Structure 1
Amino acid sequence: MTPRDIQRAKVYAAEEFVRTLFDRAAEHGTRAIEFFGTQMTLPPEARFATVAAVQRYVDDVLSLVGSRWPAAGPLTVRARRGTTAAHYERDENAATIAVPARTSWALRELVVLHEVAHHLEPCDPPHGPQFVATFCELAEAVMGPEVGHVLRVVYAKEDVR
């Protein structure tokens, strides 16, 4: 029996908040924000124009963090027809991220790293504490310590374990 993914909605809500922080910082032309009473500067977030660009990015990320997660193996990126979700899928032969190629919300670094974290930590439930810790560590390693900090604080605020 597979454990119920009871944190899924909380994880998605927290990550939506973090993406909004990045969007607002970009809209205002400054990366400096006040975050729960602390001044900090967010790094730029990569945006992708094509599925091929996402694949190159994923390959680079896996190369960067390969020593930390040596069992992860290769990860393929493919286009998805729908526009409402990106997702990770694994079978006995391959691991794949499917991203909506016609919508910009999914072609961004934070969404892609979320899916890569599923690849690095294939756990049940899919959005449990192990996944959350892996995503924070991955975002910190790839985007910088500020992003790991922001994710951890927002997860805690949303009562994500």
Structure 2
Amino acid sequence: MPRDTQRSKVYAAEQFVRTLFDRAAERGTRAVDFFGAQLTLPPEARFASADSVRNYVDDVLALPSVRSRWPAAEPLTVRARRGVTAAHYEYDGGVATIAVPDRQSTWALRELVVLHEVAHHLCRCEPPHGPEFVAAFCELTETVMGPEVGHVLRVTYAKEGVR
């Protein structure tokens, strides 16, 4: 299996993007100055439980634009996990699952984190955070959340040196 050399850069870029969304929400305005461009960020969905994440994931995978782009996408289950430090995607015995912290921590119960895990499902590539994954995640967020989010991710990835 190839080494996942971009993982820390991908995570750093995505943390920056989540912080951008958090600060926009705190200010009560979606308009942000992003590297000299004025953008209006869409609201980011937040979830109350693994069950609400499951409903969201089902809706995303049922979108005609997602079905058209990733026609071979298999069903994806969502489960709560005990640990609070990470969300993750797993594929074991033909069953694809996203595990999200539930109840003790809500940091992962947000749209950008969930879509990151869905992108792993749609692009089961090696290394897990390589160029194919990055492209799939950007395309998925753009399709689901809007072109501004895809743009913000692409620019931030480039700034972090992500390919």
TM over 0.5: yes
* 1:160 to partner: Cα distance: 0.1
Which residue matches 1:108? 110
* 1:92 to partner: Cα distance: 2.8
Q: What TM-score does the superposition give when structure 2 sets the normalisation length?
A: 0.97
Q: What TM-score does the superposition give when structure 1 sets the normalisation length?
A: 0.98
Which deviations, in whole Å up to 9, do the C-alpha atoms of 1:54-93 show, x marking residues without a partner? 0000000001111210111100000010000000000232
Question: Aligned runs of 1:2-151 on 2, under 5 Å?
Answer: 2-64=1-63, 65-101=66-102, 102-151=104-153
Which deviations, in whole Å up to 9, do the C-alpha atoms of 1:12-71 show, x marking residues without a partner? 000000000000000000000000011110000000001110000000000111121011
**How many equivalent residue pairs?**
160
Structure 1 unpaired stretches of 5+:
none
Structure 2 unpaired stretches of 5+:
none
Give the letter for the 1:99 counterpart: V
Q: Distance in 2 between matches of 1:104 and 1:82?
A: 12
Q: Distance in 2 between matches of 1:59 and 1:4?
A: 31
Q: Distance in 2 between matches of 1:67 and 1:104?
A: 32
* 1:96 to partner: Cα distance: 0.0
Dislocated runs of 4+, deviation >6 Å? none
Which deviations, in whole Å up to 9, do the C-alpha atoms of 1:127-153 show, x marking residues without a partner? 000000000000000000000000000
Percent of residue pairs bearing the same amino acid type: 77
Q: Distance in 1 between matches of 2:100 and 2:92?
A: 17
Q: Distance in 1 between matches of 2:80 and 2:159?
A: 33
Q: Distance in 2 between matches of 1:10 and 1:30?
A: 28
